Structure 1
């Protein structure tokens, strides 16, 4: 995709992943004037989208534009695409992308909607994309912000950030998804935007746990604020710009995800806080709470750089080490007093 455009008109977009956010963003692209093909794994979901004009599994009741089509054929979805949007669960990206890489158009922009850190490698999603596809960093972008899918699908006003090292590509992507209800900003800080999106899921789990334990607004505000400090410490150690964490991809995304009952991570954490086990919550929760898997690689990343991340550490203990939430809370509150 070369050079800025004034709208998405004429742009062909492939969205790989037909969950709630992938489907919502496909709708945004179509509303901005793009011709959009949505790729879903299950034939029955594609048929439902084609026949009814909505995604009954993830966005029931939301009408999808006629310029949006669905297919199970990845090659068909990717054929001639100017923009390839990746909207699969973070931990499945490498396997999926390995299969899709030979089908990618050679100069298509690769836009990540995923907010996670890869288990094992501790790589950000853009790093995984570059590694698997061989694409240069200038072709890869990430979208992050306070973007709860259902609200955007209902065309409630929202803003977001598109981060890319190539200004022209970022501007073209901005035009491709700019609608009267969805306002994208550009930013060159890919590291900060991706890290803000990944760590906020972990902090949202902490907020949910506190909510499930019966705590109120002071506790949530404290967790959000200290969580932001934790994210910024790690981000600056990895080369991110501090100002990114005060913006939409930092504070904006953090507040929305930690506060809204629409947030999967907050809702997941709430059930943990009420005493359910990780396995019990996973059995009754249909959608992926990215923070549950990303909390461990975030902690590994922080330890590798000597960064103190007590809230992330606490979430790992509750989610993966079997430590009761009450015990973790007591440990956090008994930490040594120090300057903010």
Structure 2
């Protein structure tokens, strides 16, 4: 993968909270199919049956015919080309522990608003240090936007940064829709840490 986005690229969202649900909604509006890691099988069954998240953004109807869900993180990572991590930083390490598949050839995107508490490092620093993912193969997604605004399809803005501008442009295309505008940049450290400071 490594930033070679095309119409066959598969996007996987890892996390099932309000921000993750909002990103899944956006991607369902721009992509043919979305892969989604939901940690609880009961929650998956509920979403399949009722077409919405039982706990977050309940008004958002999800087209489950184009949504591939699993509580097996290895299955999700294997199926996705672009992995969008949207797990609360407090639980990030525990959610990653079951992962055994390789992240080679995956493009890593963090939409996580915080540092890893066990080590006080950012998510991109974790992937660089622990999994040897080069910064060229990573991106950061942040606001200014709230999940509730996405749910209501209010015109909102996403900031998207990658080390290379052309990669950021391609990633941004995946999120553009009638209610989402994007701004791009190349300072992944700056965006990641500005989000951390904003949430202190």
TM-score normalized by the length of structure 2: 0.90
Compared CA separation, residues 135 and 34, structure 1 to 2 (3 A): farther
Show structure 1 runs of 5+ residues with no match: 203-340
Q: How does 1:30-109 map to 2 (within 5 A)?
A: 30-65=28-63, 66-100=65-99, 102-109=100-107
Q: How does 1:1-340 map to 2 (within 5 A)?
A: 1=1, 2-3=3-4, 5=6, 9-65=7-63, 66-100=65-99, 102-202=100-200
Q: What is the CA-CA distance between 1:105 and the residue it aligns to?
A: 4.7
Higher share of residues assigned strand = 2
Equivalent pairs, count: 198
Higher share of residues assigned helix = 1
Show structure 2 runs of 5+ residues with no match: none
C-alpha distance in structure 2 between counterparts of 1:38 and 1:167, whole Å: 27
Given that 1:34 and 1:176 are in contact with CA atoms closer than 8 Å, whether structure 2 keeps it comes out as no
Given that 1:28 and 1:179 are in contact with CA atoms closer than 8 Å, whether structure 2 keeps it comes out as yes
* Bigger relative contact order, structure 1 or 2 (CA pairs below 8 A, ≥6 apart): 2
Compared CA separation, residues 108 and 92, structure 1 to 2 (3 A): same
Give per-residue Cα distances to partners, 1:126-163, cap 9 Å, x unaligned: 11122222211111111111121111022111011111
Give per-residue Cα distances to partners, 1:65-99, cap 9 Å, x unaligned: 34223221223222231110101111222332343
Given that 1:10 and 1:35 are in contact with CA atoms closer than 8 Å, whether structure 2 keeps it comes out as no
C-alpha distance in structure 2 between counterparts of 1:194 and 1:80, whole Å: 26
Q: What is the CA-CA distance between 1:38 and the residue it aligns to?
A: 1.1
